[in-house]
Structure formats: C-alpha cells, structure tokens
Amino acid sequence: MRASRLLSTLLLLQTRGRMTAQELADELEVSVRTVYRDIESLSVAGVPVYADRGPTGGYQLLDGYRTRLTGLTTDEADSLFLAGMPGPAAELGLGTVVATAELKMLAALPPDLRARASRIRERFHLDAPGWLREADEVPFLAEIADSVWNEHVVEIRYRRWKTPREVTRRLAPLGVVLKAGTWYLVALAGYDVRTFRVSNVLAVQTLDERFDRPADFDLAAFWQDWAGKFEVRMRGQRARVRLSPDGVRMLPYFIGRQVADLVTATLSDPDPAGWVEAIVPIETVRHAHGEFLRFGAEIEVVDPSELREMVTSTIGKLSGIYGPPPDRPE
C-alpha cells in the first residue's frame, strides 16, 4: 500500500509540478504528516524532490527528472485518453485502477503530448446510456468482471426475460459487453457460448474452479455476430406493407440498418407513383403498430389484418382529435 502511495506521489509531482503538502494529502487521502514521511522516503531513495519555502512554495522534482514513454505518436496518445470510460470502469470495480493508470500515463508522456492528452479529456466525454432511460442496476458486475479476468467458474441465479422465472447456471465467463448502457455477460454454458443480461443476475457465487479460456475466442467478433442475429431473431413475425420512396429512405432510421437490409431485399418493383411492397420482420403486432406509426403517411400496412385494423383505428382516433385538415386557399 505504501509503495503504491509513494509511486502516486512521485507521479503527481511529475505530472502537475509543484504541489503543497496539503494538496498532496488531499489527492492521496492521507494526512499531511504522512506526506512529510513519504517525501522523506522518496529523498532517501534518491528521488530528487525538494521543497520551496514560503506561501507559494511546495514540493517539486528537480527539472529534467522525468520518465518518458517513448514510441507513442501524437494521435496514439490522444486516442488513449479519448478511450477512457470512468463511469463503466467504476461499475466494473476498476475506477481506482483506471485513474491510477491514467495518472501514470500522463506522467510518462513528454510535456507536449501530455498537454494534448489533457485537452482531449477536457473536450470529449462518453455517456453510454441511451436517452430517456436510466442505466441498469448491476450490483454483481464487479464480481462478474473479476471472474472474467481471473478465469474462475461462477454459479449465477438468473431471472429469464422471456418467462418470469429464476434459473441457476454454472458458467465460464469469457467477457462483458456494454451496449447502450446495458451490460451483458458472455460465457460458456456447457459447450455453448451464451449471453446474459447482467441486470437480471440475482446472485453470483465465484467458485474455486478455474477454466481455460478458448484461445481462438474473439469477444468483439462474437458480439457483432450475436447482436445482429439477436435483432433479427427478436422479430419472429412478418408484416406486408407498401412504402413510398421516402418511407424506404426512413427504414434504417426507424427499424435499424440490419433489419432495413432484410426489408430492402424484399422490395417489389415500384408502381407509377414510386411505391413498393415489402416484407418487414416484426416483434409483435402491438410493437409494429407503434413502429409503423412513426412513418406517418409514408407507409401502408397490407397485412396482417389485425395490424392494419389497429393502425386504422388509431388514425380514426387522431382524426377525431384533430378534425379534418383545414381548407387551403385556391
């Protein structure tokens, strides 16, 4: 613990220049007396740290005493700090680790790259959750992340999303993924790689048993493939619609690019007005009802009849609320 604090003291002085004992104490969450002892220990160890007396004084390192991280280009240094995610890191139980790593990185960078890295951090911020929704509660995320890192088998109690019942699963955790504010666990369940929403985990027990992570497993590639198939799999029903040219252009924005590509493959030849028929994968009739209303007058539901009647009913109610359109002057 003390060795880590001494290193943090050294890196703070290297990164920020002159600091008072009180500033160091506040930063390291220790007493001023502890700072005095640590500074003395650094001096005994041969670190050229000295004190400036007076109201504007403080501790600082001898000019030129610096550890340089060589081999980084300007763009590479920028990207390291642009990739920082303090919120997700804290949820993973790595907030302190990330902060310390960032401090070490800043201290090791040459002054010009350090200044650029600081500007990047001040100007760019990642806010992972989507609009109009709170991030999931994930009380077991840090424990799950630890088992991923240390390759420990876990036993979880899990609430299934399709049927409201609890199940117990014995898993070999391979990775965690943050998708639009939602955390997912990717794990081996037997011989199958499966995905679990971390907010649905009700309990976790980390077992003494270790597992060998498959050498050829690529988390990013798996997730990209799984997420695309999941979006399509969620839409197990079909609707036949007519779309205007503008409606076709709206598809990627309202139903997602992956599903829009499937719809585009079913487009008929356009009629004289440019309208086409298409088959749209849908989750449920009710979900499609809300989804299709977003297209306004650029879509017509042909079937299923239940969906067409639901849309027709909504249009009738809207007409009752807003009345007929006003007469336009000739």
pLDDT at 138: 86
Across residues 37-46, what is the average pLDDT?
A: 84
- Compute the distance between CA of residue 292 and CA of residue 278 in angstroms, rounded to an integer: 13
Residue position matching structure tokens 């929403």: 197
Query: Among the listed ranges 64-78, 95-109, 130-144, which one has the minimum average pLDDT value?
Result: 64-78
Tokens representing residue 310 in the block: 């639901």
Under the banding of pLDDT at 50, 70 and 90, the label for residue 69 is very low
pLDDT at 142: 87
Under the banding of pLDDT at 50, 70 and 90, the label for residue 70 is very low
pLDDT at 311 over 90: yes
Reduce the DSSP state of residue 94 to 3 states and report it. coil
pLDDT at 45: 75
Report in angstroms the alpha-carbon separations of 272 from 89, 251, 266: 56, 21, 18
Percent pLDDT > 70 in the chain is 75
pLDDT at 202: 94
Residue 21: how many CA atoms within 13 Å on its side-chain side?
16
pLDDT at 325: 73
Tens digit of each residue's pLDDT (9 = 90 or more) over 173-201: 999 988 877 889 999 999 999 999 999 99
Percent pLDDT > 90 in the chain is 41
pLDDT at 96: 58
pLDDT at 270: 95
pLDDT at 249 over 90: yes
CB atoms within 10 A of CB 226: 17
- Compute the distance between CA of residue 39 and CA of residue 41 in angstroms, rounded to an integer: 5
- Compute the distance between CA of residue 322 and CA of residue 57 in angstroms, rounded to an integer: 72
What count of residues does the chain have?
330
Across residues 306-321, what is the average pLDDT?
A: 93
pLDDT at 210 over 50: yes
Reduce the DSSP state of residue 84 to 3 states and report it. coil
Domains and CATH numbers, the chain: 2-61 (1.10.10.10), 74-123 (no CATH), 141-231 (2.30.30), 235-322 (3.30.70)
pLDDT at 234 over 50: yes
Tens digit of each residue's pLDDT (9 = 90 or more) over 250-305: 999 898 887 898 899 999 999 999 999 999 999 889 999 999 999 999 999 999 99
- Compute the distance between CA of residue 122 and CA of residue 82 in angstroms, rounded to an integer: 10
pLDDT at 120: 64
What mean pLDDT, rounded, does the chain reach?
82
- Compute the distance between CA of residue 322 and CA of residue 297 in angstroms, rounded to an integer: 16
